[in-house]
A and B are shown apart, each in its own frame.
Chain A
């Protein structure tokens, strides 16, 4: 410990190691206190886990967009949270219209599928436009330049959609088929959560199939490996990059609909910012550029966010621990970036990039 590679004492390493010890200590003490007090029953833990998994699957879907883009362009598409918002916000109106005509409750599956497609396509359009207008002219410039552009795009999109659809929160209509809960013993899991988790899984498998089994997926992998060689092999790089943004956007839009159906507080123009950062956390957690990693990272983050406040913070005697959910997530972000920037599964980057 406390020594860097060349064996000298380095106070930066020292501080970081102290931080590491403190965090482990806090987690252990907090968890021990909570578990030994037995304040939360097993059934409640399972409920928290289920809620965390469904929230996490939404993060995972958004995180895929970050990872796909990072894998190819090595840039953090900071505006991706807003792409998610664009789909969710737009599809609200479709959900409302479908509800008004009664179709939503007559044909819930078809309606939700329609909403997925609608939101996905709108998010895809937004993502593609952002790439085309804001990022493409800057390809090849130093890393911070596209990041600043992306921040600009993020705030531009937020306020553009605020201007378009207004600044109020809008709550999705209730789908009757998703009401109720699944009872297993004394554990009851809301159907919505199961639906969220399953639809996210389907989308992720869809992406996996696209990347691993199709021609364009092969092209995406080739471009992420080495752009110049891919170009020489006759791959249209611009098109592949555009496609990647589109696919990421589609997943984000679908995640937006899932989010809208899942969370009762509704959608507004700012809804994408925080989930966007969290999804980035998830992507880094799993190893950015790594597709299974992003899925895993999302689920993991969701679970930590659900369980962390109750397990650790409440155990440390902090009042109102559930308010600090976001703090847990952002602390997670910072910790991952400090201690394991390559993520759990490792970054999937070729050596030239690292």
Chain B
């Protein structure tokens, strides 16, 4: 009992159950089964199973770190890892039992018991707080009644439906297959395997933590790189396909998955590399730091040069499919950099950014289309329309900005969201159908031409996006350090003070909205030219949320952060198609987690970083 009551064991229980809850949730919403479709190593482990095992591994690694720091013995840590592993599997095991034909009565029984148990627990707590008997009894009654309604409701639902799957659509055969490691028929074997694997992963996490520093880092590198390459097998294969002959490729991959031998080789090589880095990486870094400034600058310049060369050669290195993804990422980089002017620099939470994107796309569509809705049938080319789209988007940004100038931050966010929805509905309406085609949209948008070559492949469109992104990046870096940029930051920090020191806030805000709209328009126009059709379903609030998420995750007001955010948040769902169903689930979770744990983003801007760390919350006064 002593052990159970200690702080460390309570933390282990909490962590384990939290992690177990996560696995259960991922299973119930269909994430595990969907990820199972993607094999990481051929015939060995799937991404779903990685998810299943990564949770106990990471949790026990974290728990072990804490335990060792507070002076617990390694043996205790190992025991903790075991417990966490078992706890991680426990909720899933329970659901497996509830789902099986033989033990369904357990579900029914527990649903009927829950109200009484929970009510008694709450009453006991109320009693422990020293409440009167009357109050304790009232607590019990109310709790039992309320929980009872929900609990009996579910009991009735499952009773009538006959199984869980009638309600929870993803508690299906696939899920059972994954979590029992393909032992759907022998339930107890499956449960045993799940428990054993989970406990093993928990132990492995602790062992990893106990290892000395250098081998640990080496192993983590090896594991991480192998898993990454395995998970993105398709992508890696597409890249290698451009540069390797077919037979070597077949040695490494079976269709899109890494073969076992190749995975083992990769693991060994990357572990060795990790080992070397762990041994000598620190020395390399300190030697680099010891160089004098000019030499260091030279090394940096060389790095930049290599990076630029890589960017230029990218389409040839990665092939058509991935170039297409790169173009999509580029479009979002453009929008991210644009929206960042409003959100990051001026602190205006614009949730209707899709408006500008739509304006750019529709302008290009209507002006250049050679279909029935094209106004000029090919008189205008892509290059002539790009500036028009840019100006039109700026104009739209201006028009929508004027009414919201006086609003305070949260109202402004909702009002811009309203604008986005209005534009979406108008684009769908019969009213504007003669002009922009309603739900069918505008079709037959020609690809851009560059001196009589049609830029029809993503490899070629990539360069348009690249140039546009670089120009935007340049402009936004310059803006960041300009007088206007400083004005925006002043407004972001405190509008009243900004007004007081003589900043024309209305003008500055208007400028922020207008400039931020400009790149949205260009992004929309490029998008329209890329896909060749424009229709309203491409312009929903989800675009705005996408852009917002990549800014928040990458780092508010941080240009490199936004680029990386776009690559990760837009690239990943495109490359891992299993992910795309859970895209907005992930974005939502990321927005919450980032705001709570890391509001400055993963690659924070130096200025924001400074603010966050020096930022003592100034106004926690009474009544606020």
Contacts and interface: CB of A to CB of B under 8 A. Distances in A.
A-B interaction: yes
Interface of A: 12, 15-16, 19, 75-76, 93-94, 96-98, 100-101, 114, 117-118, 121-122, 125, 133-134, 137-138, 140-141, 143-149, 151-160, 162-166, 226-229, 273-274, 277, 280-281, 284, 318-320, 323-324, 326-327, 330-331, 333-334, 337-338, 341, 350, 352-353
Given A143-B409, A156-B585, A163 B403 contact: no
A341 B413 CA distance: 14
Given A152-B587, A152-B588, A227-B624, 5 more contacts: A16-B403, A93-B167, A151-B351, A154-B588, A277-B414
B157 interface: yes
A152 B595 contact: yes
B178 to A, nearest CB: 15
Contacts of A94: 153, 156-157
Given A12-B406, A143-B409, A324-B425, A149 B585 contact: no
A333 B548 contact: no
A30 B167 CA distance: 48
Contacts of B169: 164-166
B505 to A, nearest CB: 10
Interface stretch (B25-33, B86-94, B194-202, B329-337): B25-33
B28 A163 contact: yes
Nearest to A332: B418
Interface in B549-565: 549, 552
Contacts of A121: 146, 149-150
A132 to B, nearest CB: 12
Contacts of B419: 330, 334
25 contacts: A93-B157, A94-B157, A101-B156, A140-B624, A143-B408, A147-B349, A149-B596, A152-B592, A153-B592, A156-B584, A160-B585, A163-B29, A163-B30, A163-B581, A165-B169, A274-B421, A319-B430, A319-B431, A323-B425, A323-B430, A327-B422, A330-B421, A331-B422, A334-B419, A338-B407
Interface stretch (B205-213, B520-528, B615-623): B615-623
A97 B581 CA distance: 29
Interface string B219-235: 00000000000000000
Nearest to B407: A337
B417 interface: yes
B397 to A, nearest CB: 14
B460 interface: no
A137 B623 contact: no
B29 A160 contact: yes
B146 A156 contact: no
B149 A143 contact: no
A101 to B, nearest CB: 6
A337 B431 contact: no
A334 B418 contact: yes
Nearest to B402: A15
Given A324-B429, A327-B425, A144 B29 contact: no
Contacts of B617: 140-141
Contacts of A323: 425, 428-431
Interface string B597-608: 001000000000
Contacts of A163: 28-31, 170, 581-582, 585
B366 interface: no
B138 to A, nearest CB: 13
Contacts of A138: 595-596
Interface centre among A97, A134, A154, A163, by most B CB within 10 Å?
A: A163
A287 to B, nearest CB: 13
Contacts of B404: 337-338
A148 B349 contact: yes
A206 to B, nearest CB: 15
B449 interface: no
A145 B623 contact: no
B595 A149 contact: yes
Nearest to B591: A152
B506 interface: yes
Given A97-B161, A163-B29, A350-B623, A149 B421 contact: no
A118 B591 contact: no
A334 B405 CA distance: 12
A155 B596 contact: no
B588 A159 contact: yes
Contacts of A331: 418, 422
A137 B595 CA distance: 10
A348 to B, nearest CB: 14
Contacts of B583: 159
Given A163-B29, A165-B167, A319-B430, A228 B585 contact: no
B411 interface: yes
Contacts of B411: 284, 337, 341
Contacts of A280: 414
Contacts of A149: 591-592, 595-596
B575 interface: no
Contacts of B375: none
Contacts of A143: 408-410
Query: Nearest 5 CB-CB pairs, A to B?
Result: A163-B29, A152-B591, A156-B588, A320-B430, A352-B623
Given A16-B402, A323-B430, A134 B552 contact: no
Contacts of A324: 425-426, 429, 431
A326 B624 contact: no
Contacts of B166: 93
A137 B351 CA distance: 24
A144 B506 CA distance: 20
Nearest to A156: B588
B347 interface: yes
A118 B415 contact: no
Interface in B253-289: none
Contacts of A327: 422, 425-426, 429
Contacts of B405: 12
Given A118-B153, A165-B169, A226-B622, A333 B582 contact: no
Contacts of B506: 12
Nearest to B620: A140
Interface string B15-33: 0000000000100111100
A227 B167 contact: no
Contact of B418 (A146, A277, A350): A277
A110 B304 CA distance: 72
Nearest to B417: A277
B402 A12 contact: yes
A249 B421 CA distance: 25
Contacts of A154: 588
A98 B153 CA distance: 9
A136 to B, nearest CB: 10
Interface in B281-311: none
Contacts of A15: 402-403
Given A152-B588, A163-B28, A337 B415 contact: yes
B50 interface: no
A326 B414 contact: no
A73 B405 CA distance: 24
Contacts of B160: 96-97, 100-101
B406 to A, nearest CB: 7
Nearest to A125: B150
B168 interface: yes
B590 interface: yes
B596 A164 contact: no
A341 B349 contact: no
B531 interface: no
A144 B417 contact: no
Nearest to B28: A164
A134 B418 contact: no
A277 B421 contact: yes
A169 to B, nearest CB: 14
B421 to A, nearest CB: 5
Contacts of A118: 149-150, 153
B589 interface: yes
Contacts of A226: 622-623
Given A97-B156, A277-B421, A134 B592 contact: yes
